[in-house]
Amino acid sequence: MLVVRSLSSLRIRARRIVPLSTAVLVVASLVACGGDTAPAAPREVDGASVPVGHGSAYAYTVVNGDGVSAIGIALTPSALDGLPANDAMWDLPLPAGVSVPPFDHLMLNWNAQGHPPAMYQVPHFDFHFYTITHAAQAAIQPGPDTTTVPAANIPRGYISGVEAVPDMGVHWVDTSAAEFHGSPFDATYVYGFYHGSLVFVEPMVSRAFLEAKPNLTALIKQPETFVQSGEYPASYSVRTDPATGVLRISLDSLVPRPD
């Protein structure tokens, strides 16, 4: 920010003649001081809230300088209470005027009893970040999907769930995750494909973990390449605001890919 001082603050008295060279130096000094101004702090921009449980949820982005450094979903603390006994889904609009390609829209899914495989049969949320349109998402049909996904598009250690879930696609899970090696499931990162193409990425988080006021940040396994260009996260986090109790599940450190 350029800070311009008044003539009085520069102690320039009336009738005093200031040589042109001195005036130029003063202006240059002011501009230089302006150039030393610290960059603006990252700020959160929120979308419209949607009722969830006894609370609400909303999408948000973190703006850092001229770009978006993170995109996420926030839950108020009471959103974990009063949840339906059956599975439910909420569409969370992005903040007005915000574009974060390749992500087109966000959806929050509540799995009241979990789903197969066995380690995920606990109440949990799917935080879906879709790279396709609402119309393309609605066209996803249930059933086996054995379309080959190019190996370069799959992170090491991920395997296909084979069955496409309607309105979602096929969930690919990380076999190196702790829940595959005897630990209870708390949070994991999922890739979603349909007919060979990436359609979403998803932090999947248990309700019990969210109730424990987590503060987790984890690196994301990356494929060799992404077909669709845009900014993809290097890490994800599941954090609790200590002042408000708001839970934020976010894709962080967005970087351009393919790079």
Per residue of the chain (259 residues), what is the pLDDT tens digit?
Answer: 333 333 333 333 333 333 434 433 333 443 344 455 666 788 999 999 999 999 999 999 999 887 899 999 999 999 999 999 999 999 999 999 899 999 999 999 999 999 989 999 999 999 999 999 999 999 999 999 999 999 999 999 999 999 999 999 999 999 999 999 999 999 999 999 999 999 999 999 999 999 999 999 999 999 999 999 999 999 999 999 999 999 999 999 999 998 6
Same domain, 21 and 60: no
Q: What sign does the dihedral 171-100-109-210 (CA atoms) show?
A: positive
Same domain, 5 and 110: no
Same domain, 26 and 54: no
What value, to the nearest 5°, has the Cα angle with vertex 91 and ends 248 and 257? Answer: 65
Same domain, 79 and 33: no
Same domain, 24 and 107: no
Same domain, 114 and 221: yes
Cβ pair 104, 133 in contact under 8 A:
yes
d(C-alpha 24, C-alpha 131), whole Å: 53
Q: Which residues pair with 70 in a beta bridge?
A: 62
Same domain, 22 and 99: no
3-state secondary structure of 28: helix
Q: Please report, in angstroms and rounded to a whole number, the separation of the first and last CA atoms in the chain.
A: 32
Same domain, 33 and 142: no
Please tell me the pTM assigned to this model.
Answer: 0.84
Enclosing domain of residue 89: 43-257
Count of domains in the chain?
Answer: 2
Same domain, 65 and 102: yes
Q: Backbone dihedral region of 226: left (phi > 0), alpha (psi from -120 to 50 degrees) or beta?
A: beta
Same domain, 110 and 237: yes
